[in-house]
Structures are given as structure tokens and as C-alpha cells.
């Protein structure tokens, strides 16, 4: 009985603490409801062309081709464009010198090397996110005047999404999220699906990427996930990547002029062990072409190597070892079948690998130690103007992109298709939206399959008349009559510009269909098979 008063006091203290917690919770609930009410009001934006178009990407701007394409299209539509991101790779000349576009560079913080202990990543990542958040908030709020549209690239998700949601709410404009992939799957690929960081990023992405006036996706599979799995609120539209007009197949004379400047033979000498790989070089000759006279027409050399191009980000989500293993297997086959005459039956293959990334140095060391007779690898980094010229002069492209989410599409294949260049691409389900096996390219799942594709394509390959190789030329014909008919500018004007011209209506529609978000498909996909669960949504949009 003597303990009763003490128990009563403890109970009283508990009730008092519980009441305070309830009051605080109700206060925050009312505050967030009020903020939600304000944020749900339709943004007030001027007609197109009257104000600006702000692009946000927490990455190297010059190494973000899709965002640069957005910038070009917005300029052509009459916008004044601001771009927020990191300074790095050289910008295309037409954008760098355009007075209607302004670049606002953030200070890039150091990257945690993948070779360091994971605990350093856990310690550094939150600090980096906070610093970047304040930096981005300052630039977006005070250095960029209120644009009509904020177009944000995702990933990276943190801190881009929540900062731009706050900025957009404060300035009452329109937010567009361009979903290239999911930030959570990129983190999961590095740290594991069960990592606490992966779960935090997934929760963050769901919360802060939940609502936007327009959600742009790079594939139909991603659009389905946003629509059904994540139930995003807003207009969901698929804007496929397309190469611009200057991506095209080169004539033989253009190949000659480009390679006379590029001098791949110098890179081969510097980066390979096989001194006999190169053909003899004389006057009016490049590694691929030759002229009988300085002013005469160029022709392909009969003793040239096959030129195969692959662009890579040199990260763990592209298994570059598959290509190395396939090349080694092809070289073993060629040495067995060719006998003492290299390249006589199975042709010599020259792989030119472009790109930057954390694993580049590791693989360059591996490549430098490979003793191959019929295969050579060189790595290089090209300025933006030279990259389409390399693709336009190649015989084949290779894509090792595996997709961390399974629903994005490789931009490198888009670039190759823009040059009517067939590809061998690593197979995953969504890839079929871009690469149709044995129609515009080939797909593989392991090094053995890739080696077999090289062997089938380049056994007795007509080096001086590559257009007579029926399988590759057939793929080029398909690309010229399908993929190349629609370029980025036309695609953007048809799919995105109408939504931007009627942003208030787009916003209203996104609220009306909040329980069942609006979804649109690219018109080029009209012939593609649709799943039954999408037919009702397509009919809804047609009404």
C-alpha cells in the first residue's frame, strides 16, 4: 500500500508525456495538412516562351546527353534555359555559345572510392547529401529566377527530389521528373538489397518522387511500374531516347577524313602488345581506308581490321569481363582456323572502348596484359563532336548494359542505332523495347554467345565491301526504315511539348486521375504488342 502514491505519480507522469506527444503530433499533422493544401493549389505559370525552363542534374552536365537534348529542344521551343549541375566534360559548342542558356555549376564533392571500406561510405554519404542539399537549394532559389518548368533528372535521388519539391512549392511552378532509373536500385547494386541505405533511398524516392505535374520515363516497362507498382501521382508519359540528326552512317570518304585525324593506329601501338596486328601504313592510307591518289575517292582496305565500338561507364553494372572473355574465345578460334595467316578466315577485330568511370584503370591494366593475335583493344575519350563520327564509321556496336532496375534502356544503343549501326547487346527483359533480336541487332547472355555472334558475323567478312555482308546490312536497312525515321527533336515535340504548352490542364488532369494516373505511350509503339492490363488505360486516353 505504501507504493501506491509512487505508482500514481509514475502513471501521472506517463499520462502527461503521452498527452504532450499527442499534442505535438496533432500540431505537425495540422501543419502538414496546411502545407499540403497550399501545395495542392494549381501552379501559376506563364504561357510557353514567356519564362524559363530549368534543368537539374546532380552529375556532369557534359556527360548527360539526355538532359542536353532536353535543353536543345527547350531552346527550339522558345524557352530561356537554365541548367544546374556539375562542370566536367566539354559542352557541345552549340549550347556553350548560346546566349539563351545559362549553366549554374555546383561544387562537386569527392567521391568515395569503391576500393575503400564500406563504413566510409556510410559516414560520408549523409554529410555529402546535406552539403549538396544546401548548395542546390541556394542555387535553385536565388540564382535562377522562377522558371515555368523545373525538369529534374532521377537518379541521383538524394538530395535532388526533396530540394526541388521544396523549391517548386515555394515558387509555385511546375515540376517534371525525368526517370532515367531508380536511385534505390543503383544503391542496391553497390551496397546490397538489404542495406539500410538502400531502404532509406527507396523510401525517400517513394515519398519525394510521389507527385509531379509530369513523370517522364525512358521505357514502357518503367511507366507501368510508376503507374501500377508505385502509384505515382501526375501525368506519366514515355519519352524514348532518340539520337539527334547528326548521328548517321558516314560515307567512305567521310570515314577516311575522320580516321586520318583520329589515328587509331597510334592508339593500337601504344596500348597493345601485338606489333603485328596493324596493316602496313602508307601515304593516303588510314587504318580502315585508302586512296590511290590524294584527290581520288576513298575505299575500304582489304587488310583492315573490323571496327567494333563499345561505350561504357566503367561501373559494376556493366560486366566488361564478358567482352574480354568473348574476345579471348574468338581469338582462340581464329588462331585454330586461320593457321599461320592471321585474319584470313576469321577477321581481326579492333575494339574501341569509349567512356569514363571508376573501373577504367583496372580494366586497362587487364587489357594491357592480354596477349591476343586476332583481337586488339584500345580505350579513348572523345569530344562530343567526334563520338557520332566514330559510331558512323564502325562495323558493329556492343552494349554490356545490364540495368540495375531492369526497366531502363541503354543510351549507347540509341546512339548506335542513330548511326544505323547494328549492336550485340546483353539481354534483359526491357531491352526488347529497343533491340529486336535478329532484326536490328543481336542479344547475348554470356561470353560464349557473344563469341559465337562475332564468329558468325566476321567469318570471311568482306573487309573492302562491308555492305555486301547480308546480315549486318539487313540490320542497317531495318534501322534506316524504322528507328532513324524519328529523331529526338521530333519525338520531343510530339510527346512532351503538347504537355508543356498546356501545363495547367496537365496539372488538372493529374489531380483528376490521382487514383488512376494518366498514362501515354510513344506513337511509334502502336505496332508493339500491349499487355491486357494496359489496354484500358490506352482507351481511356483516346477518349
Residue by residue, DSSP assigns 176-204 as EEEESS-HHHHHHHHH-TT-HHHHHHHHH
Q: Please write the tens of the pLDDT for every residue from 302-331.
A: 999 999 999 887 776 788 899 999 999 999
Mean per-residue pLDDT for 338-348?
81
Return the H-helix or E-strand segment holding 364: helix 360-368
- Return the higher-pLDDT residue of 271 and 300: 300
β-bridge pairing 52-60 and 80-86 = parallel
Q: Mean pLDDT of all residues in the chain?
A: 83
Asked whether 426 and 317 are in contact (CB, 8 A), the reply is no
Q: Please write the tens of the pLDDT for every residue from 487-530.
A: 999 999 999 999 998 887 776 666 654 444 444 444 344 334 33
Which residues contact residue 359 at a Cβ distance below 8 angstroms, ignoring those fewer than 6 apart? 114, 314, 315, 316, 320
Is the pLDDT assigned to residue 346 strictly greater than 60? yes
Q: Please write the tens of the pLDDT for every residue from 254-286.
A: 999 999 999 999 998 888 877 788 888 888 999
**Can you read off the three cell numbers belonging to residue 478?**
531495318
Instruction: Tell me the C-alpha distance between 518 and 526, whole Å.
Output: 18
Amino acid at each position: 500500500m505504501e507504493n501506491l502514491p509512487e505508482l500514481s505519480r509514475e502513471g501521472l507522469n506517463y499520462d502527461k508525456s503521452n498527452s504532450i506527444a499527442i499534442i505535438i503530433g496533432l500540431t505537425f499533422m495540422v501543419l502538414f495538412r496546411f502545407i499540403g493544401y497550399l501545395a495542392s493549389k494549381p501552379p501559376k505559370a506563364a504561357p510557353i516562351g514567356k519564362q524559363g525552363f530549368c534543368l537539374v542534374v546532380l552529375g556532369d552536365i557534359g556527360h548527360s546527353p539526355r538532359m542536353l537534348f532536353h535543353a536543345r529542344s527547350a531552346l527550339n521551343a522558345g524557352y530561356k534555359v537554365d541548367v544546374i549541375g556539375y562542370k566536367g566534360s566539354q559542352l557541345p559548342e552549340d549550347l556553350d555559345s548560346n546566349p539563351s542558356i545559362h549553366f549554374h555549376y555546383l561544387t562537386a564533392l569527392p567521391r568515395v572510392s569503391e576500393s575503400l571500406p564500406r563504413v566510409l561510405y556510410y559516414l560520408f554519404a549523409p554529410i555529402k547529401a546535406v552539403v549538396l542539399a544546401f548548395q542546390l537549394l541556394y542555387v535553385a532559389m536565388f540564382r535562377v529566377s522562377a522558371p515555368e518548368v523545373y525538369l529534374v533528372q532521377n537518379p541521383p535521388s538524394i538530395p535532388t527530389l526533396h530540394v526541388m519539391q521544396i523549391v517548386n512549392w515555394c515558387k509555385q511552378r511546375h515540376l517534371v521528373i525525368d526517370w532515367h532509373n531508380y536511385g534505390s536500385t543503383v544503391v542496391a547494386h553497390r551496397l546490397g538489397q538489404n542495406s539500410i541505405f538502400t531502404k532509406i533511398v527507396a523510401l525517400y524516392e517513394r515519398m519525394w518522387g510521389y507527385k509531379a505535374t509530369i513523370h517522364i520515363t525512358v521505357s514502357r516497362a518503367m511507366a507501368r511500374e510508376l503507374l501500377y507498382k508505385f502509384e505515382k501521382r501526375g501525368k506519366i508519359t514515355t519519352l524514348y531516347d532518340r539520337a539527334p540528326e547528326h548521328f548517321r552512317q558516314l560515307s567512305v570518304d567521310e570515314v577516311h577524313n575522320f580516321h586520318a585525324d583520329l589515328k587509331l593506329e597510334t592508339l593500337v601501338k601504344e596500348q597493345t602488345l601485338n606489333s603485328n596486328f596493324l596493316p602496313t601504313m602508307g601515304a593516303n592510307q588510314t587504318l580502315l581506308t585508302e586512296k590511290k591518289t590524294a584527290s581520288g575517292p576513298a575505299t575500304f582496305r582489304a587488310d583492315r581490321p573490323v571496327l567494333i565500338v563499345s561505350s561504357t561507364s566503367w561501373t559494376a553494372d556493366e560486366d566488361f569481363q564478358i567482352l574480354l572473355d568473348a574476345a579471348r574465345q574468338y581469338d582462340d578460334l581464329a588462331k585454330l582456323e586461320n593457321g599461320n595467316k592471321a585474319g584470313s578466315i576469321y577477321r581481326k577485330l579492333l575494339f574501341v572502348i569509349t567512356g569514363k568511370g571508376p573501373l577504367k584503370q583496372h580494366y586497362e591494366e587487364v587489357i594491357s596484359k592480354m596477349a591476343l593475335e586476332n583481337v586488339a583493344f584500345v580505350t579513348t575519350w572523345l569530344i562530343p563532336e567526334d563520338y557520332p563520327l566514330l559510331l558512323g564509321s564502325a562495323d558493329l556496336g556492343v552494349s554490356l548494359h545490364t540495368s540495375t532496375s531492369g526497366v531502363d534502356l541503354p543510351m549507347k544503343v540509341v546512339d548506335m542505332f542513330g548511326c544505323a549501326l547494328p549492336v550485340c547487346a546483353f539481354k534483359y527483359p526491357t531491352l526488347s523495347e529497343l533491340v529486336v533480336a535478329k532484326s536490328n541487332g543481336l542479344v547475348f547472355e554470356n561470353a560464349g554467345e557473344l563469341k559465337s555472334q562475332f564468329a558468325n558475323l566476321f567469318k570471311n567478312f568482306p573487309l573492302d565491301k562491308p555492305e555486301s555482308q547480308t546480315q549486318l546490312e539487313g540490320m542497317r536497312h531495318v534501322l534506316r526504315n524504322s528507328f532513324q525515321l524519328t529523331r529526338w527533336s521530333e519525338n520531343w515535340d510530339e510527346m512532351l511539348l503538347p504537355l508543356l504548352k498546356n501545363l495547367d490542364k496537365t496539372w488538372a488532369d493529374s489531380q483528376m486521375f490521382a487514383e488512376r494516373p494518366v498514362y501515354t505511350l510513344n506513337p511509334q509503339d502502336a505496332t508493339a504488342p500491349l499487355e491486357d492490363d494496359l489496354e484500358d488505360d490506352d482507351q481511356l486516353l483516346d477518349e
